[in-house]
Structure 1
Amino acid sequence: MYCQVVFPLPFRNSFTYSIPKELEEFVKIGVRVVTPFGKRILTGFVISITQETELKEKIKPIQDVLDEKPIFDEKELKFYEWISEYYISSLGEALRNAVPYGSDVETKRKIVSETNFCFDLYNKETNKKTLRAKLLLALSEKEVNNVSTLQKIVKKKNIYSLLRSLEKIGAISILDLVDEGKVRIKKAKFVELAKSIDEVYNTIPEIEKKSTKQLVILLELLNQKEAIQQSELIKKTNNTISSINALEKKGLVRVIEKEVDRVYHETYTEEKSTIQLTEKQKNVIDKVSQKIESNEFESFLLFGVTGSGKTQVYIELAKKVIEQGKEVIILVPEISLTPQITSRFFNYFNEIVTVLHSKMSLGERYDSWRGIINGKYKLVIGPRSALFAPFKNLGLIIVDEEHDQSYKQNEIVPKYHARDAAIMRAKFNNCPVLLGSATPSVESMFNAKSNKYTLLELPERIDNAILPQIKLIDLTIEKKKGKMESVFSHTLLEEIKQRLLKKENVIILQNRRGFATQVFCADCGEVVMCPNCSVSMVHHINKNILQCHYCNYIQPVPKACTTCGSIALKFFGTGTQRVEDELTYYFPEAKIERVDSDSTSKKGSLGEILNRFRKGEIQILVGTQMVSKGLDFGNVTLVGVISAETSLWIPDFRSDERTFQLLTQVAGRAGRSEKIGEVLIQTQNHKHFVLQKVLMNDYNGFYEKEILLREQNGYPPFTRIGIIEVKDENEEHARGAINNFYEFIKKYQNRLTITPPTEAIIYKIKGFYRWHILIKSNKKIDAGGKTLRTAIFESLIEFNQKSRFRDVKISVDIDPQSII
């Protein structure tokens, strides 16, 4: 028998392997197999099995099967094929999303160098700037290197021929070592009674005379209904392992090895509450339930104002799905949303709920994933990667805060959008998908108004709560009147003071991390920039460092300007650290906490902060957009926004939409119970139409204006767009590669709108120079985007065949969420 295998590598074809007799019963479509691949060992995915093959050459056998049960079936394979085709990646790269990081078996190439010999060779090089000289110097400084490390040091990818030549003269050895994966099944020792309870009781008098420590262990085991983990038993009885060993020798206990689940425990908890559904909530549940019961696909858009009870709708629908013996995926845009929503689902569904997100350890994620495959869990909650949970009997997918840009994968191929991919996965599984938001994306609302989605609405808050009063504070007027204290208007400070006196809670939004967003010289005007990225460094006062938020480069705060030597350095701009620092000055008695990616990097820290905020131990929460979504606390009566313009200034076609969504969402954190909420938004541009629509809580008015602008300028939802990005550490190579690619793709200009190559708005990130080509495809002519994808794919092939810059990194982003 033979199987077709694909690998998580950037080539599209599959490879044929023979299946040894002893492995035939284990090889199925959807399992991972360990195979030889050239001189390497790799893990691949089985996508088909045949009795025969037409191939004439010798076929290598697979070496091992990693999975007991398939990760995907033929139905799910169609979904991954769609991901691969739509987002222009290989099938293997798409399937990589289906497995947890660190569980693959593969060969890791190590370079072991004779350091003294390499240094002698380096000294003999006449030109120390050649690639060979740079490589020899790196090899002389460290005995064992990875190829990737050497590539970074010499800033060149193609070093293999040089390495082989050095191996021939004995300067290095190239070793291919098999890495068994970073994560495995965890096993632990358990202790149980080896004899009946009566037999153990008969031995107690004798044991008591000889060893009270052994007696304590026996008494504890008599109280246990099943085996207890050895480490827990030792801790409980304040004992040692020697006492257990002694009892094992007497035949009274046995020590066995069992698998242990590493379960992620959310630190945030809240009491289960009894909720009376409104008629509008029941109506939404009834409409979606019809499709759940009839196993039909349909896309629903749930447009519900903040505090309208969308989470309870999700819970009621999940109950119906699980009663049918099916499974549910609930996507949230960021980890910051998982503590509260996870706690509420745990309250209703207990041990059948699991989470999948990056704050979990590798072992916890691996065990969650295995629990899903083995049927232990029926409901999974998590950010975009949770979409690929290996369920076989999906009954519903929910995408909460569907408008959020973090559903878009920007880092690795394929650059999928989890919301759009969720719709396709639901379609392949014949189940409904529910997209929920108080501020739906322009594309989703357009689809609803075009009857592509079914629109469901929750226009009112539950529990007699009313939407908060929103006020704009014009900072230009406040400054003229002398009513400003640093970044705070007197109005905002006074309102914070009143809330603290009433023992009510406050949320303050400033969507920038750090203390000062720029450090510049007052004499020459020079701004301290990141050496690796074309962005300014941000001052973090708690560590007194400057940090780049793109590459994480860190440097000490300079004592003087590096350009002119002046000591007149100024700190400009406001981040969350500065807001927190100044609030502490104005309200020294208040307990203030900051919520951003710096303060919540420690596992479980966000849940602990939210617990204390709920209990009233924290009065003021200061944060980035992490505080704008999903938080539901009845005692929050004031929300303050330090600067409404932060996202309006971004030169991107979605900046107005993002600003409206962010401000409306954060406003929705106030007044979620019987206490009336107020929102104060500080701005220098109070007449801007976006801020006026936020002020009136007028989503429909905002949508109508935005959709006209999109149509006039040829942006989604009227066009489908793709961005070609070229980046390289060599500026000339990057420019040459993008110009080459433009020559290949511009032949499609009669069917597509193709902009000439331009420098990316942030021209340099992590040492790489970036160039973009923006391609638009009119949906009236190219509804599914096939023309767009075909043009890009064929141009990529031509580029890789003909361009002298084919080593330059080129990436494709279909339906990008940003064009910067």
Structure 2
Amino acid sequence: MYAQVVFPLPFRNAFTYSIPEEFVDLVKVGVRVVVPFGKRILTGFVIGINQTTELKDKIKSIRDVLDDYPVFDENSLKFYEWISEYYISSLGEALKNSIPYGTEVESKRIVVADRDYCAELLTKEKKQNSIKAKLLNILSQKEVIKISQLQKELKNKNLYTLLRNLEKLGAVSILNELEGAKVKVKKVKCVKLKKSIDEIYEYFPELEKKSPKQVVILLELISSRDEVLLSELLKKTKTSSASVESLVKKGLVEIYEKEVERTYKETYQEEIKEITLTETQQNVINRISEALEQDKFETFLLYGITGSGKTQIYIELAKRAVAKGKSVIILVPEISLTPQITSRFINYFGNNVAVFHSKMSLGERYDTWRGIISEKYKIVIGPRSALFAPLKNIGLIVVDEEHDQSYKQQDISPKYHARDAAIMRAKFNNCPIILGSATPSVESMYNALNGKYHLLELPQRIDKAQLPIIKLVDIGIEQKKKRMESIFSKTLLDEINNRISKKESIIILQNRRGFATQVYCNDCGEVILCPDCSVSMVHHINKNILKCHYCGIELPVPKACPVCGSLSLKFFGTGTQRVEDELAFYFPELKIERVDSDAIDKKGKLGEILNSFRKGEINMLVGTQMVSKGLDFSNVTLVGVISAETTLWLPDFRADERTFQLLTQVAGRAGRSEKQGEVIIQTQNSKNFVLQKVIQNDYKGFYEKEIQLRQKGEYPPFTRLGLIEIKDQNENRAKAAITEFASYLKKYEKGLKISPPTEAVIYKLKGFYRYQILIKSFKKTDPSGKLLRNAILNSYIEFNQKSKFKDVKLIIDIDPQSII
């Protein structure tokens, strides 16, 4: 028997391995196996099994099987093949999304150095600043080091030739070291009585004379009448493990290992509310239920204004799916949205609900993943990675806040869009999918209006709630009238004061983290930039540091200008820390909490903040876009936006759409009960078209204008985009490589519109210089995008075969959400 195995590496081939007799019953399509690959040991995915093979070379054997149950079935495999083909990645890279981090087994190459000899070679090296000299310097200090660590420290991947030469000299040895999985099943030692209580009492007289500590242990076990954790038993009885071992030898107790499941507990909790569905909600549920009952794939765009009860519709439909024996995936764009929606689903479905996101520990994610495979859970809730939960028999998929850019994978290949991929997963599972939003993406609304999706609307709020009154406050006019207090207009401060007096809650949005967003010299005009990125450093006042929000580097705040030496440094721009700090000055009695990725980095912190906010123990939330999504608190009557322009002036074709969505979403947090809500948006451009549509709550008017601009500019939904990015730590190499790639692309330009290579807007990122090519494919002539993908794939293959720059970092992004 032979298995076809793919690896989470950037090559597209499957490799054949023989299945040893002892593994014949264990190796199935969908399980992971440990196999030799070249000089390494890797974890791969089995995608096929054959009785014979045409290969004549010696075939290596599978060494181990990691899974008791398949991670994916034949149907799911089609879905991963689609992801691999559409987003131009290897099948193994796509399948890597199906398993939690830390469960792989692989070998790492390590270097064992003769430190004295390396130090001697270093003294003979003529160029002390060369890569070889830097390498010898590290090896003269560290006896054992991983090659990956050397590559990281030296910021250079091309070290193998140097290391092999040093190995020939006898200065180093290169070894393979097998690394097991970082996360495994957790087991604990338990103790319980091995004999009846009456039999145990017979031993007491003798034990009381010789081993009184053993009597204490037995009494504790008798009183508990059940198993006890060994660690707890020793702690309670203040005895040692030697005493327990003595009782084991006497045959009175037994010690055994028991598996412990690590479960993530959401700190936020809500009480179950009695909800009466409106007629409109019921109509929506009935329409989607038709597809659910018939196991029919249909895509529904649920356009419901903020507070219209979309979550309750998801719950009612999930009930029907579960009653049919089906499972459900609920996607939310960010972890910040999971506390409230998870709490509501747990209220209805109890232990049938699994949460899956990156704030969980490795152990919690692993145990939850195993629980999903063993069909313990029927409903999975989480951000984009939850789409790949190994659920069987999926009956419903929901993508909440479908417009959100967080659904796009930006970091690793494949750069999938979870909303679009979710539609394909629903298609392969013959089930309905709901895309829900108060501000649908332009592409989704276009698809709905053109009949590709079914448009369902919720035009009114539930619970007699009204939409809030939205006011624009022009900062320029306020300054002339001397009605500005630092970053706040008097209008906003007066309204905050008014709401405090009524004991109502407030949300303030400023979509920038930190205290000051720029530090610059008042004399020479120099802005302090990140040394590794072409962006300004942000001042964080709590630690008094400068931090780059792209690469994470932290630097001390300089005492003088690094260019001219002037002491006249100015802190410019406003982040959430400054907003929080100044509001505490104006309202010292106000209980304020900040909600941004700096403030809620501790596990469960967000849930605790939201609990306190719901109970009225916190009066105000100040945050980034995290506070704009999904929060539903009846006592919030005021929302303030410090600066409407933070996303408006970005050089990106989606900038207007994102600004409209952000402001409409945050405005929707106000007035979600019978109390009238109010929204105050501070701006420097009150006549801007986008802002005018926000205050009119006119999504349709915004869409009509935006769709015309998209058509004129040849952007989605009229075109499909492909973005090629090449980056390297050497600027000239990156520039030469992108020019060469462009020459290969030129052969396939028929039917496409290819931009010339240009610098990325953020030209330098994490020490890499970035160049880009944007390719447009017109949907009228290339509806599936095959022409676009073939052009990119063929150029990529040719570049890899011919280029001398093939070691530069090349990134392919199909349907990019940003071109910055």
What TM-score range do you get, normalising by the shorter chain? over 0.9
1:194 to partner: Cα distance: 2.3
Other-structure match for 2:587: 587
Please name the residue that 2:462 is paired with: 462
Give 1:170 shift.
0.8
1:752 alignment partner in structure 2:
752
Q: Structure 2: which amino acid aligns with 1:480? A: K
Name which of structure 1's ranges 424-433 and 138-147 shifts more when overlaid on structure 2. 138-147
Shift of 1:128: 2.7
8 Å Cα contact 2:5/2:47 also seen in 1: yes
Q: Call closer, same or farther: CA 1:415–1:464 in 2, change over 3 Å.
A: same
User: Is the alpha carbon distance of 1:439 and 1:202 closer, same or farther for their aligned partners in structure 2, counting shifts above 3 Å?
Assistant: farther
Q: What SS does structure 1 have at the residue aligned with 2:646?
A: coil
2: CA distance between counterparts of 1:211 and 1:114? 55
After the TM superposition, which of the residue ranges 280-289 and 514-523 deviates more from structure 2? 280-289
How far the C-alpha of 1:197 sits from its partner, in A, is 5.6
* Preserved contact between residue 375 and residue 392 of structure 2 (Cα < 8 Å): no
Per mean C-alpha deviation after superposition, the further-off stretch among 529-538 and 300-309 is 300-309
The CA deviation string for residues 497-528 of structure 1, in whole angstroms up to 9 with x for no partner, is: 11111111110000000000000011110000
* SS at structure 2 position matched to 1:141: coil
Structure-2 change in CA distance of 1:622 and 1:232 (3 Å)? same
What is the CA–CA distance in structure 1 between the aligned matches of 2:234 and 2:619, rounded to whole Å? 42
Which AA in structure 1 matches 2:621?
L
Q: Which runs of 5+ in 2 are unaligned?
A: none
TM-score scaled by structure 2?
0.97
| Residues 468-505 of structure 1: CA deviation (Å, up to 9, x unaligned) | 11111111110000000010000100111111111111
Supply the distance in 1 between the matched residues of 2:220 and 2:269 (Cα, whole angstroms): 31
Please report the RMSD computed on the Cα atoms of aligned residues, expressed in angstroms.
1.8
Compared with structure 1, are the counterparts of its residues 780 and 191 closer, same or farther at alpha carbon in structure 2 (3 Å cutoff)?
same
Classify 1:614/1:29 alpha carbon distance in 2 versus 1 (closer, same or farther; 3 Å).
Answer: same
Helix, strand or coil for the counterpart of 1:756? coil
Which amino acid counterpart does residue 162 of structure 1 have in structure 2?
Answer: L
Q: Map of 1:60-209 to 2, 5 A cutoff?
A: 60-196=60-196, 199=199
Structure 2 matches for 1:327-406, cutoff 5 A?
327-406=327-406
Partners of 1:113 and 1:210 in 2: how far apart? 56
Report the equivalent of 1:507: 507
What amino acid does structure 2 have at the position aligned with 1:275?
I
Cα deviation code 1:146-201 (max 9, x no counterpart): 22232234443222122111111111111100001111111111233323466567
Cα shift at 1:204: 7.8
Cα drift, residue 791 of structure 1:
0.1
| TM superposition shift of 1:108 | 0.7
For residues 399-430 of structure 1, what are the alpha-carbon distances to aligned partners after superposition, in whole Å with 9 as ceiling and x for unaligned?
Answer: 11111000000000000000000000111111
Aligned pairs for 1:399-798 (under 5 A) are 399-798=399-798
Task: Provide, for residues 680-713 of structure 1, a one-character-per-residue CA deviation record: whole Å limited to 9, x for no partner.
Answer: 0000111111101110111111111111110110
Q: What is the CA-CA distance between 1:247 and the residue it aligns to?
A: 4.8
3-state secondary structure, aligned to 2:34: strand
Offset, 1:465: 1.1
In the other structure, the counterpart of 1:318 is 318
- In the comparison of the two structures, how many residue pairs are matched? 820
> What is the CA–CA distance in structure 2 between the aligned matches of 1:222 and 1:780, rounded to whole Å?
78
User: Quick one: distance in 2 between partners of 1:289 and 1:357?
Assistant: 29
Q: Once the 2 structures are TM-superposed, how far is the Cα of residue 266 of structure 1 from its aligned partner?
A: 1.1
SS in 1 for 2:550: coil
Distance 1:491 1:206, change over 3 A: farther
Per mean C-alpha deviation after superposition, the further-off stretch among 91-100 and 746-755 is: 746-755
**Which residue identity does 2:412 align to in structure 1?**
I
Which secondary structure state, in structure 2, belongs to the residue aligned with residue 479 of structure 1? helix
Q: What CA distance in whole angstroms lies between the structure 2 residues aligned with 1:353 and 1:48?
A: 32
SS class of match (2:563):
coil
* Shift in alpha-carbon separation, 1:214–1:450, aligned structure 2, 3 A: farther
Paired with 1:202 and 1:690, the residues of 2 have a C-alpha distance of 85
Q: CA deviation at 1:252?
A: 3.9
Q: Give the % identical residues.
A: 70
The Cα offsets for residues 291-326 of structure 1, whole Å up to 9 and x where unpaired, read as 122111111111111111111111111111111111
CA positional deviation for 1:215: 6.5
Quick one: structure 1 residues 119 and 646, their matched pair in 2 at CA, closer, same or farther if it must change by over 3 Å? same
Query: What is the Cα deviation at residue 209 of structure 1?
Result: 9.4
Sort the Cα spacing of 1:69 and 1:507 in 2 relative to 1 into closer, same or farther, 3 A.
Answer: same
The aligned counterpart of 2:273 is 273
Q: Distance in 1 between matches of 2:212 and 2:716?
A: 76
In the TM superposition, residue 244 of structure 1 has moved relative to its aligned partner by: 4.5
Q: Render the CA deviation track for 1:237-278: whole Å, top value 9, x for unaligned.
A: 776656644554554432221111111111111212221111
Mapping for residues 196-345 of structure 1, pairs under 5 Å: 196=196, 199=199, 221=221, 227-234=227-234, 241=241, 244-245=244-245, 247-345=247-345
Residue 289 of structure 2 aligns to a residue whose secondary structure is helix
Q: Offset at 1:142?
A: 2.2
Secondary structure of 2:773 counterpart? strand
Offset, 1:570: 0.4
Q: From the superposition, tell whether residues 375 and 202 of structure 1 become closer, same or farther in structure 2 (CA, over 3 Å).
A: farther
Deviation of residue 374 (structure 1)?
Answer: 1.0
User: Aligned-pair distance for 1:338?
Assistant: 0.8
d(CA) in 1 for partners of 2:361, 2:509: 30
187-196 or 684-693, which deviates more: 187-196
Distance 2:289 2:273 in 1: 23
State the alpha-carbon separation in 2 of the partners of residues 432 and 342 from structure 1.
Answer: 21
* CA gap 1:215/1:656 in 2 versus in 1, 3 angstroms: farther
The structural deviation recorded for 1:761 is 0.2
1:50 Cα deviation (Å)?
Answer: 0.5
Q: Measure the CA separation in 2 of the matches of 1:238 and 1:37.
A: 52
Q: Secondary structure of the residue that 1:255 maps to in structure 2? A: strand
Paired residue secondary structure (1:645): helix
1:709-743 CA distance string (max 9 Å, x none): 10110000000001000000000000000000000
Counterpart residue identity of residue 538, structure 2: V
Instruction: Summarize the Cα distance change of 1:812–1:677 in structure 2 as closer, same or farther, 3 Å threshold.
Output: same
Q: Is the 8 A contact 2:331 2:400 kept in 1?
A: yes
- Residues 632-688 of structure 1 show CA distances to partners (whole Å, capped at 9, x for unaligned) of 111111000000000001110001000011001111111111211111000011111
Tell me how far apart the structure 2 counterparts of residues 477 and 390 of structure 1 sit (CA, whole Å). Answer: 56
